[in-house]
Every structure is written in structure tokens, then in C-alpha cells.
Amino acid sequence: MNPYKKLASLLDDRMSGHAASAVSGLPAELGTMTAGGLKLDRFKHEIADYYVADWMAKLHLPNFALTGTVSGLSSGGVPVAGQGTFAFTESGVEDVRMEFQHGLKPGDRVLAIPIDDGNDAVILCKVVK
């Protein structure tokens, strides 16, 4: 076996074990967004000042095309306008920030981790059925 592959496999196993043990004691639970904050299912008080996880990811875009209208362009000093199809090739965008905090509305169900004896919480994501 390639010694580098063996080392990479060993590091992967060790990191997976550390990650699993780091989150094994976290009591994630469901909650509901309210007009005044967050109400966890197993905690009787509403949490007005909560945290929201900040996720960074790489966005993979497939080949796709969009049809639309173009205006405000010029070609050789002559204004160009009209309809057309814009074709995009497959690509990836690094360091895309997924910010869903502003999209949370009263009634939305979320997965959260209570912290500070339930006085605060970190919302991990919105959940849907």
C-alpha cells in the first residue's frame, strides 16, 4: 500500500473520531421562530437574543442557460437592447457565505443547540418536512 495513502487514511480516521466526540454531547433540539425570538421545544422561555451559525461553502454550478432581456449595453457606441439566451458553463465558486438569518420568519422550524444553561442558543439551520 502507498505509504502516503495509509497516512491520509489514518489522519482521516483520527479527525472523524475527534469531530464525532466533539459534538456527541451537544443536545441539539428543534425550535420555532417567533415574533420575539426563538422558542425551543423543550425550554419554556423564549430566547430573544440567539446566535445563528455562519456557514462557508463551495458552490458548484452546472451547465445552464437563462433567457432574459438585456439593456444598457453598447457596441461600437451604439446602444444594444433585446432578448437573448445566456449560456453558462459548469463552474465552482469558493468561499460562498450561506446567510439564512435574514430569511428566518415566525413559524419557521429550526435546529438549535442550547448554550449557557438554556439562556442562549445557536441556530444551526432551518428544517423543513
Instruction: Read off the pLDDT of residues 101-120 as tens digits, 9 standing for 90 and up.
Output: 778 999 999 999 988 877 78
Decide which of 2.40.50.140, 3.40.710.10, 2.30.36.70, 3.30.420.40 is the CATH code for 27-54+99-129.
2.40.50.140
Work out the average pLDDT over 59-72. 90
How many Å apart are CA 27 and CA 37, to the nearest integer? Answer: 19
Tell me the pLDDT band of 65, cut-offs 50, 70 and 90: very high
pTM attached to this predicted model: 0.59
Across the strands, what pairs with 109? 32, 127
**Pairing between β-strand 51-52 and β-strand 120-127 as defined by DSSP bridges:** parallel
- Please report where in the chains the cell 465552482 appears, as a residue: 92
Structure-block grid coordinates of residue 50: 440567539
Beta-carbon contacts of 77 under 8 Å, excluding residues fewer than 6 positions away, are none
**Domain coordinates in residue numbering, the chain:** 27-54+99-129, 56-97
Does 44 score more than 70 pLDDT?
Answer: yes
